[in-house]
Structure 1
Amino acid sequence: MNTNVIQINKNECIHCQVESNLSFRPLVEYLKTRLKTEQSVKSEFYRFLLEKIEKNEALLGNIPAEELSKYQDTLELIFTILTPLMANEDDLYWALSTPIPDQIFFSTNAFYNFFKDHDPKNKVSKDNEPVEKKQLKFIYNLILGRFYNFSSVLKNEIIYAHIDTETKLTSYYNIQTDTKFVEILHKGDLPEINFEELGQHFQDNSELEYLTEVLPLSNFLFEGFSVISITDVTLQHAIDGIRDALVNHNYQTEAYTHVIQALKTLGGNGNLEFGLMPFLTVNKKLVFDNKEFSQSMLINSAKASNLEEEVFYSLVDKYKENPRAIFVSSINDDQIDKDPFLRVLKAAGVCSYSVLPVYYNTQLAGVLEVYSSKEVLVDDKLLSRLRPAMPLIGQLFQYSIEEFDAKMDEVLMDKFTALQPSVEWKFNEAIWHFLQQNKNKSYHKLKEIETVTFKHMYPLFGAIDIRNSTVERNKALKDDMEIQLNSLISTLKAIRKHVYLELTDKLLFNCKDWIKRICDFASSNEENLLKEFLESEVYPFLSIIKGNYPKTADIIEKYFEVIVPETGDGFKNRRQLEVSMQLINTEVSQYLETAQQNLQSSYPCYFAKFRTDGVEYDIYIGQEIAPDKPFDLMYLKNIRLWQLTSMVEIARLSKGLIGEMPRPLETTHLIFIHSNAIDISFRNDERRFDVEGAYNIRYEVVKKRIDKVLIKNKNERLTQPHKISMVYFNAEEAKEYMEYITYMQDQGLLNDDLELLELDELQGVSGLKALRVGVKYVTEKKPKEIKPIDVDLIERELQKQL
């Protein structure tokens, strides 16, 4: 036992000190009370200790901690009655301190060494409160409990962390203070406390300010001593760390890192490392190339060793058929022959490797890896330490699987289906009706799910097309074929210097003839004939020459490099064209996606975009989209003006991209104005909305044919770069849009060059007219974003009308 005085807080809490006396009088009172009821042999021991304390009057008064070393035998007797009989003082963290823990005056050797070797600054605290505030909370917690029978959620315990310098592992200790032998005296009458008011201060985290005013510490006296004990809670803290990762719903890389660190703490061996491998599936097949949901040594080693995926998948599939714990304490050649996957682990520096199956609700959810660069034996002791964590890891794996599946569904819904939040509510209703109608029915008697229909919807159509895309494709193809043929001619001439064959001259003649013919490519059939010539005559010829005449190998290889689609010069123009088209489509799609999300805030609408050579979109708006929000034609006007202003922004965006394109392309911009409402329904087979009724179908016919319409009596396409074209049927539609055009000309968005045009008849469609106006480009500074109509103003006006 140790009687050296340990200063805990080192006067860090001067301002929150309360008057206190170190005394054993409360213990004497306790022993006298016990002697009145104690009938066992313990009473003799209690009586002996009581007499010993009372002989030394100094122990009953206010004695300095430094003087208690004189009474070591008495303190050891106190230790004996306050601790279990079997407790070993070299293993027990136990001590006596002043009433308000500030000075420790008697402790076990284990406790003394703990404070000597561990830095108290390593305290783990979520709130990072200063020592003074924690001390005040401790004091008032005692006062409220003793005088007002008020229990605070604050516990008299502190968690400390210690990092072992050798193993680099963190150990956690719970330091608890027992105040059973502390008496609290109050000077004068005890004030009353409004507990409702106190409760409110606890919620506002201002309880200390309230308590110091109502219950000044100067009116209190603490007398007696406290008992301090320290418990190693490393294992529980590690388990709690894993549980926290689950509670916080953070199942990705950050959570996996925390869990692995907690497992290292659980293992208690600095040489151990852990890997987590949940079994993620796509179409019921396992997938592993996902860093977000997995941290596996085996996967990383397999990638580093370029192990074929099929081999890895077959290995794990085989394990799933018979999941079991695998223990390899030291990887050697004999084991590698039996289990080839150990080879990639050894190549990664792994010496020992073990796998533990992890289950969730009796279903295999993944595996836990235990590995080390040193020879480590996974024994029963280690397994028993890990066992409490296995159900939590199973739950973590299940969350990861669910999160992965949810991400797959999210992308599926976003990229491959037409379902949007604005119309999802109606699909939910249809699903619920379907489930109600088919409750308790057999499969062959199930009723069909109802068709989701929205009636009286106002349509808007817009198209951003890449100008002369077919012409550009043909030109890129001709340019590439010319490069390939010229490269082939050079190759054949070089071959002729090493090998003379009559067939070489014939192929040269054919190549020169094709160079003349590609200038007049008019159909895909001619393209196919050239492709057939190259694949059936040229490529076999070159392969034979390369094999029989090694001197020609480098020459022929250079030609084949030219015709590699991904990198060769023979595909350069088509690649550049594709990059340019993708750049336009991606930027326009992203703009529309962001813009329509803002548009939804004014009034919900259905917005569907799809790609052709450019980007087209449909918008439907009406009362049935949002039954709970009154619809007014002002919302339709707002969205029409938005459509026109967005076309200006897209035109400017496209023009700004020209400098970034490897093959410059221009865009045209078309709007179809249709004032009459139509009905739309969801086609389950095609997973998209379509119009209903013969009259409504006419709208679809016109929409699909107007992109190539000509101006009447002119051989000129309506759609032209740098202009916005608006096709309509009646004069009222044109009048509304002319007002928008005038407004936007005033805003500096459109040129003063409006044209009113009549259009050629289309198949089955006549009477079409168009407005066409030029876009004004601003080069000096970015134009201001135009807000078509103040949505809040519209809603206020609607409320007045309603």
Structure 2
Amino acid sequence: MTDINANIDSPLILKVSFKKLLEYYEGLANNEDEFLAARANRVLKTAEDYPELRDGFTTIQTLKDRKKEIGFILQDTFSPLLTKNEIKTASVPFHNLIFNKSERFKKIIKTAGDDFELQIKNMPDEYRYIIACTIILNFCYGHDLNFKRPFYYEIPDANGIMRYYKIMYNADFCEIIPAENAPKITQKDYDELLDNFENLELWKAKFPPNSYQFKGFVISNIFDVTDDQSISNIKSSLIGDEKKKDETVMEGFYDIFRSLLGINDIKVGFSIYNKEENTFENVYGAGVSSFLLGGQEKEDCCKALCDWSHNRLLKEHKYFSISDVDKVYKKTEGKVPQISVLHKQGIKSAIFAPIANDDGLMGVLEIVSNRPKVLNSINANKLVDIMPYIVSAVERSKDEEENLIEAVIQKECTSIHPSVHWRFAKEAKEFIKDEMSGKEARFRKIAFDSVYPLYGQIDIKGSSEARNKATKQDLTLQLNAVKSIFEKAFEIEPLPIYEQFVYQVKDYLNGLKEHFQVDSEQQISVFFKQEVEPIFQHLRKVEGLQGLIEKYHNSIDKKVDVLYKHRRDYDETIATINQEMASLLDRKQIEAQAMYPHFFERFKTDGVEHNMYVGESITKEDNFNLLYLYNLRLWQLQVMCEMENTYYQMRPDFSISLDVASMVLVFNQPLSISFRMDEKQFDVDGTYNARYEIVKKRVDKAFIKGTNERVTQKGKISIVYSQKQDEVEYMHYIKFLQAKNYLDDDVEIVELQDLQAVTGLKAIRVSVLYHKNENDKSFYTYDDLMKEIKA
């Protein structure tokens, strides 16, 4: 015979007993009401014939053998008049053993299917033992821990829709008795347990297995709370951070709506309202779609809705339903936009509910079904209770999106680097504190003192000449095309004006060859736009010229309104170089920040330049040492070599051949920087420190003293400095990088011509060693590499 305590780890030995219930009937046996007394005596007589019903038993067989008698004893608590309405069971705690059920409960379980297993959903197995201990503390020691939490059954109905049932326990007919070996729980024990809920071993020490006896039974009064639980589940789902990232999460979200409305085939969609553009837009994220948009990314509100529904959602902020889409589609001949889009998707009924707050419409909740009439204006009222949670979730989502947008803008468009973000946050908090306390709020100056600067750039050599060349090539192509059309026009109709246009075009062509000037491009573009184009509009009608003019117009770029072939190649090449160089520098920066935090910013021009500042005031920690500065200088030099290599490995793929030259500026004195609110970037502070900025802006154009040779040269890295100690330091770095085959042996030290207000600058120049590709183990000088590439 199976014992009900078998395979159960618990401090309680469970014993089914009706002693407490029978004691209640003993009180009724002498009642003045003869009917009640007679009934009580019959119950007591039944129990008297079977003493185990009072004394208690632990075998399942006894439950089977005494099923009739138990049913009779429990008849008053399971009224035959209410059995088809009440959901009620009699059982023992912490066990799925149910020995008496109301008819309605039986029907619910039968409908769920033969393979359904009844389980309490929110009672974790790992906590069952501890929960039993808390009940003992209450029953035997009077400590009410208020651990009452709602327990639920989840049981599917005939349509497969999950329904939720809340369980309320009646423990009037049970008692808990300590065994002889049960340790006495003292106040000290109780205090210790209060702070150790999850310490199972401690609880087992205070309440050993089988150290208490549960005698009696519990009555479970069960209530269908599907609507309330669905609303709660919707709220929980909307709070979850992952709600838009996982399709399985969204499917679970739809199941909740199915439970709420009692319809198993509904789908839920959302569309976001863009107030600025007056459009409905799809929601970002997996598993989220809009049935109102029907597969489109966005749609004008006036085109997505008819006038009545547009006013209903956007102005009145009220829901509307379509119970029979096919019927309305036929009646309106498919001319109503929201009906037409639903009909195309095979949707038969739908509800559209506005997601709106005091500021207006934020989006639309869309519930649809493939069956007609199951969604209608009556069950649409069930949405009233959940809409506040959906509104709150959308408000939160909009705030998160705005924060994300601001974060992207900060990252991509401003110079607030993470290393100094703490200082901005600190000042922002002070600003908010002053504002909220009624003081005059002012964002204080943000400055960092005694920081060491590092500056480097990889500059595209001859970029201006390359762009001028591309411009001349494009203008020449377009001028020749125009000349051909006017020459042909003169053949067809020999008007002197066409001959004059040919002369003017030739004059522009000669000008491009002999003396291309800054304003040449502008002059010729005006000529095309204001003089040539009006004539071409007329000539398009002339037979024999249509094809030439159409070919000419097809060659014109629609965005810039000129022929843009070689200039596009140039612009795309420059953009690709800058993007690749900047990306490499950003990746390397992650490593550098891990070595020691510092401020970093980079700029894309004709090449990529970067600033770094390192010092204790930036890190706000007392651990800065010049060692970290020296380490960053070596890192910078090494990365410049790697950027050079990366560029020349990409160069064969470019449509325009360009060279780059790298330079590092060394400034050996600490300086102060501050954030300029007007320009939203950091700049040096003070007149003396401004010398650093002057050098930084002009040094790459400086000449070697007594020559016309620029200090920056292709294939070389130039290290500009002013102090002898800087020279010694960098010669150590160069020697190290030579040993690692980053640099060649041709080191030279040169003096620079004086810059405005800056004298005494020198530069170390050394050639970079290159590889043809990442897997190439050979080393090449610039000249050798060019020969290899051309070979």
TM-score by length of 2: 0.80
Assess, with a 3 A threshold, how the Cα gap between structure 1 residues 308 and 294 changes in structure 2: closer, same or farther. farther
| SS of structure 1 residue aligned to 2:453 | strand
1:743 is matched with which residue?
736
1:402 is matched with which residue?
399
| SS of structure 1 residue aligned to 2:470 | helix
| SS of structure 1 residue aligned to 2:235 | helix
In 1, Cα distance between the equivalents of 2:359 and 2:509?
A: 69
CA-to-aligned-CA distance 1:427-448 (integer Å, 9 cap, x gap): 4555566677788879xxx686
Residue from 367, 370, 383 that aligns with 1:370: 367
Residue from 101, 106, 114 that aligns with 1:107: 101
After TM superposition, give the deviation of residue 704 of structure 1 in Å: 1.0
The answer to whether the 8 Å contact 1:66/1:105 transfers is no
| SS of structure 2 residue aligned to 1:203 | coil
Structure 1: 5+ residue runs without aligned partners? 1-6, 785-802
Assess, with a 3 A threshold, how the Cα gap between structure 1 residues 501 and 298 changes in structure 2: closer, same or farther. farther
Whether 1:467 aligns to 2:461 is yes
Residue from 661, 676, 679 that aligns with 2:672: 679
> What amino acid sits opposite 1:237 in the alignment?
Q
| SS of structure 1 residue aligned to 2:519 | helix
Whether 1:82 aligns to 2:81 is no
| SS of structure 2 residue aligned to 1:301 | coil
Whether 1:120 aligns to 2:116 is yes
2:226 is matched with which residue?
234
| SS of structure 2 residue aligned to 1:584 | helix
In 1, Cα distance between the equivalents of 2:430 and 2:171?
A: 65
After TM superposition, give the deviation of residue 756 of structure 1 in Å: 0.3
Assess, with a 3 A threshold, how the Cα gap between structure 1 residues 653 and 37 changes in structure 2: closer, same or farther. farther
The answer to whether the 8 Å contact 1:353/1:370 transfers is yes
Assess, with a 3 A threshold, how the Cα gap between structure 1 residues 587 and 191 changes in structure 2: closer, same or farther. same
After TM superposition, give the deviation of residue 145 of structure 1 in Å: 5.5
In 2, Cα distance between the equivalents of 1:649 and 1:51?
A: 98
After TM superposition, give the deviation of residue 581 of structure 1 in Å: 1.9
After TM superposition, give the deviation of residue 703 of structure 1 in Å: 1.3
> What amino acid sits opposite 1:755 in the alignment?
E
Report percent identity of matched pairs: 26
2:47 is matched with which residue?
53
Whether 1:666 aligns to 2:659 is yes
Structure 2: 5+ residue runs without aligned partners? 778-791
1:189 is matched with which residue?
181
After TM superposition, give the deviation of residue 120 of structure 1 in Å: 3.1
| SS of structure 2 residue aligned to 1:535 | helix
Assess, with a 3 A threshold, how the Cα gap between structure 1 residues 204 and 253 changes in structure 2: closer, same or farther. same
In 2, Cα distance between the equivalents of 1:296 and 1:572?
A: 41
> What amino acid sits opposite 2:116 in the alignment?
P
1:390 is matched with which residue?
387
The 5 A counterparts of 1:219-368 are: 224-228=216-220, 230-250=222-242, 252-254=244-246, 258-277=252-271, 288=281, 290-292=283-285, 295=288, 297=290, 300-301=293-294, 303=296, 307-308=299-300, 320-330=314-324, 332=328, 342-359=339-356, 365-368=362-365
In 1, Cα distance between the equivalents of 2:284 and 2:433?
A: 42
2:764 is matched with which residue?
771
| SS of structure 1 residue aligned to 2:736 | helix
> What amino acid sits opposite 2:102 in the alignment?
T
Query: Aligned residues, how many?
Result: 762
In 2, Cα distance between the equivalents of 1:127 and 1:53?
A: 34
In 1, Cα distance between the equivalents of 2:272 and 2:6?
A: 50
> What amino acid sits opposite 2:404 in the alignment?
K
1:589 is matched with which residue?
582
1:203 is matched with which residue?
198
Assess, with a 3 A threshold, how the Cα gap between structure 1 residues 414 and 231 changes in structure 2: closer, same or farther. same
1:478 is matched with which residue?
472
After TM superposition, give the deviation of residue 300 of structure 1 in Å: 2.9
The answer to whether the 8 Å contact 1:749/1:776 transfers is yes
In 1, Cα distance between the equivalents of 2:545 and 2:371?
A: 54
Whether 1:559 aligns to 2:555 is no
In 1, Cα distance between the equivalents of 2:468 and 2:728?
A: 41
> What amino acid sits opposite 2:198 in the alignment?
Q
CA-to-aligned-CA distance 1:80-119 (integer Å, 9 cap, x gap): 42247863x3343333456774554443333334333423
| SS of structure 1 residue aligned to 2:582 | helix
1:418 is matched with which residue?
415
TM-score by length of 1: 0.79
| SS of structure 2 residue aligned to 1:672 | strand
After TM superposition, give the deviation of residue 725 of structure 1 in Å: 0.9
CA-to-aligned-CA distance 1:734-756 (integer Å, 9 cap, x gap): 22222222222233322222110
The answer to whether the 8 Å contact 2:661/2:715 transfers is yes
Assess, with a 3 A threshold, how the Cα gap between structure 1 residues 656 and 329 changes in structure 2: closer, same or farther. same
1:716 is matched with which residue?
709
RMSD: 4.8
| SS of structure 2 residue aligned to 1:748 | coil
| SS of structure 1 residue aligned to 2:759 | coil
| SS of structure 1 residue aligned to 2:662 | strand
The answer to whether the 8 Å contact 1:434/1:448 transfers is yes
In 2, Cα distance between the equivalents of 1:402 and 1:38?
A: 70
Assess, with a 3 A threshold, how the Cα gap between structure 1 residues 10 and 223 changes in structure 2: closer, same or farther. closer
In 1, Cα distance between the equivalents of 2:458 and 2:693?
A: 17
In 2, Cα distance between the equivalents of 1:739 and 1:401?
A: 55
CA-to-aligned-CA distance 1:751-770 (integer Å, 9 cap, x gap): 22211012233344433221
1:789 is matched with which residue?
none
> What amino acid sits opposite 2:262 in the alignment?
G
1:451 is matched with which residue?
445
In 2, Cα distance between the equivalents of 1:109 and 1:116?
A: 11
Assess, with a 3 A threshold, how the Cα gap between structure 1 residues 415 and 675 changes in structure 2: closer, same or farther. same
| SS of structure 1 residue aligned to 2:682 | strand
Residue from 511, 522, 525 that aligns with 2:516: 522
In 2, Cα distance between the equivalents of 1:673 and 1:406?
A: 39
> What amino acid sits opposite 2:232 in the alignment?
D
